[in-house]
Structure 1
Amino acid sequence: MKKITFVMIIITIAFSLGIGLFSNPLLANTENNPKILRDKYLNIITVNKPQYQMVKKIVKDKHNVQYMFSNENDIKEFKYNKDVIENVSNMDLFIYTGTTFEPWANSFIGELEKGNIGIINLSRGMRLLNYDVNGSSKENPYYFEGIEAYKIALYNVKAAIQDRDPENREYYEENYNNAIKELNDKIDVYSKKIESLNSYTFLTLNNNFDYLIKDLGLNVLKLDNREISEFIKINNLDKNKLVILKDGTEQTSMDLSKYSVVNLWKYDGNMSFDDLILYNVEVLTDLIVENS
């Protein structure tokens, strides 16, 4: 009996030692360990696809990003309803242009349920340009085809996401810096040709490209109500050094066949804003190649 008791004691001690030896200390006392922080997952919605592409440059695949439209006419003609208001109200961030590009934006935002959602105006901190229409000032909404304005808008995207997910602040900062560097590097390729554009006079038919024109420092005149030939004569312009800037998205009844014409694009719903800028810069600087 004593022998059996002694053996049981030895087995009990060995079993106890075994638990102490082979148990995983990382799994013990889990209630006393600090809570593991999980990455925040944001639901972000933009008005258009190019804005969506801006957000993706900052967040990559870290968050859920959606957009409402790509086509400009769809944006302008949009009529929202309760379902749209409810769906957008459930998002973490709603990002919009902040100009008359979305004529319904102010009333739409007024209808949103102001709970968790953050509302981000991409034009914040931007000096918007205006132009005269029959004696009254009108806002130019196409800032996103301007180089510096685009950078400000991208900064606003970055800052808004950092505010919502401060744990990954450095990650978003790095992505932003990389995006700006990439754009600068691509534009620098055209820098000498852009300087050569100073030898031309550009005639605009409207104000759609004021932001890009300002950033490139082009010598620009806006056509008034006169015929182009008359305008050239009155202003003593060299026809061989005159380039007409036309909006490729719009039709015109004017006969431009006798002139050098460059078709620029103020907006393309399937083209990112940085690609849009680079496209316009490229077609402008192609003039140097054509006339060299």
Structure 2
Amino acid sequence: MKKYICIILFLALSLTGCSITTNEDTKPKVKPKVNTTENLSIITTNKLLYYMTKDIVKENHDVDYMLLTENEQWSYEYTEDALNNIANKDLFIYFGADFEPWINDFLGDIKNGRVTSVNGSRGTKIVKLENPVEYGDATITDNPYYWMNPSNYKILMSNIKNAIQEKDPQNRKIYETNFNENMKELSELQKSADDNNELIDKTVFVTFGDTFDYLAQGLGIKLVKVYEDTDKLDIEEDLDQATSDEKSIIFLTDGVTLPENCRELINKYKMKRIKVQNYSYDSDYIELLDKNYEAINQAISEESE
């Protein structure tokens, strides 16, 4: 009888499985991580703006750029294929303020598509060129390098961040964090530059044209600007006063060929030439600004010795 009872119990357990527990059953169930973020397709007009956008999104989303060098911005002639390509992106980010002199026509020719265009210069403080530049039938009056003033750069980066947050609101905190980290780097760089304010006050900075207006704003320096039609006598009075005040005189250049009046002034006052840049395709903004500040700080330190 006992033998039959054991057999019946064994069969019951085998059929129901209710009282059999395995190690597999006790392991916690781990749900696979699902990335619900839509992978945005973002394109910028140039490489420097690409770096700025990457500082906001980091490794998220697909970011690309159209043009590499600054000269390409001025010689660019867009095609129907380019218009169609941009139309199918999620975000199209451009500097604005006439840095891309063809941008208004370009935007007007984009037909249909899902793209949202972002003007990085919106809300920034733009200064006018003393000598406007002709571009085809248009006249360029805005000085385009507004981002070299850190105050404008903050607004530019905020415009980029806000546009990405609108497209990907569920990750807005990530972009806010990345933005704040970038602003912290900028703040630390500015504090380092401020350490040389005393030497900057003992230096007169001369340059050709309006190229470095925003860089000067950021450093709090006043530029003596020379144009092709500038009479040297108008400049020499200021430089003679600087010499009598025992101030150093430094010439800021981006490497362009200088007109004769500039070369004569540089030679007469034995100015030290310092190369600085507003645009770079092989370094991001913080690196670009740091290189400029370092070049200026080194020059004024050497002149003060």
TM-score normalised by L of structure 1 = 0.84
Residues 1:276 and 2:288 are matched in the alignment:
yes
Deviation (angstroms), 1:238: 2.1
Q: CA separation of 1:9/1:20 partners in 2, compared to 1, >3 Å: closer, same or farther?
A: closer
Q: CA separation of 1:190/1:89 partners in 2, compared to 1, >3 Å: closer, same or farther?
A: same
Give the counterpart of 2:241 among 222, 237, 240: 237
Residues 1:285 and 2:289 are matched in the alignment:
no
Residues 1:124 and 2:128 are matched in the alignment:
no
Q: Counterpart in 2 of 1:266?
A: 278
**Retained in 2: the 8 A contact 1:57–1:175?**
yes
Question: Cα deviations across residues 141-174 of structure 1 (Å, max 9, x unaligned)?
Answer: 0112221111211111111111111111111111
Q: Which amino acid aligns with 1:65?
A: V
**Retained in 1: the 8 A contact 2:199–2:301?**
no
Q: Counterpart in 1 of 2:136?
A: none
Give the counterpart of 1:170 among 173, 177, 183: 173
Between the aligned partners of 1:99 and 1:249, the Cα distance in structure 2 is 23
Q: Counterpart in 2 of 1:73?
A: 71
**Retained in 2: the 8 A contact 1:203–1:245?**
yes
Residues 1:215 and 2:221 are matched in the alignment:
no
Q: CA separation of 1:221/1:211 partners in 2, compared to 1, >3 Å: closer, same or farther?
A: same
Q: Which moved more, 1:150-159 or 1:137-146?
A: 137-146
Q: Which amino acid aligns with 1:108?
A: F
Q: CA separation of 1:137/1:17 partners in 2, compared to 1, >3 Å: closer, same or farther?
A: closer
Between the aligned partners of 1:8 and 1:74, the Cα distance in structure 2 is 87
Superposed structure 1 runs of 4+ greater than 3 Å apart: 7-24, 224-230
Q: Which amino acid aligns with 2:89?
A: M
Q: Which amino acid aligns with 1:185?
A: E
Cα RMSD (Å): 3.1
Q: Which amino acid aligns with 2:15?
A: F
Q: Counterpart in 1 of 2:95?
A: 97
Q: How does 1:138-149 map to 2 (within 5 A)?
A: 138-149=141-152
**Retained in 2: the 8 A contact 1:262–1:284?**
yes
Gaps of 5+ in 2: 26-33, 133-138
Deviation (angstroms), 1:236: 4.5
**Retained in 2: the 8 A contact 1:44–1:66?**
yes
Deviation (angstroms), 1:263: 2.1
TM-score normalised by L of structure 2 = 0.80
Between the aligned partners of 1:20 and 1:127, the Cα distance in structure 2 is 74
Question: Cα deviations across residues 107-128 of structure 1 (Å, max 9, x unaligned)?
Answer: 1111223432111111011111
Q: CA separation of 1:10/1:195 partners in 2, compared to 1, >3 Å: closer, same or farther?
A: same
Deviation (angstroms), 1:79: 1.0
Deviation (angstroms), 1:18: 4.8
Gaps of 5+ in 1: 25-35
**Retained in 1: the 8 A contact 2:95–2:120?**
yes
Q: CA separation of 1:261/1:163 partners in 2, compared to 1, >3 Å: closer, same or farther?
A: same
Percent identity of equivalent pairs = 30
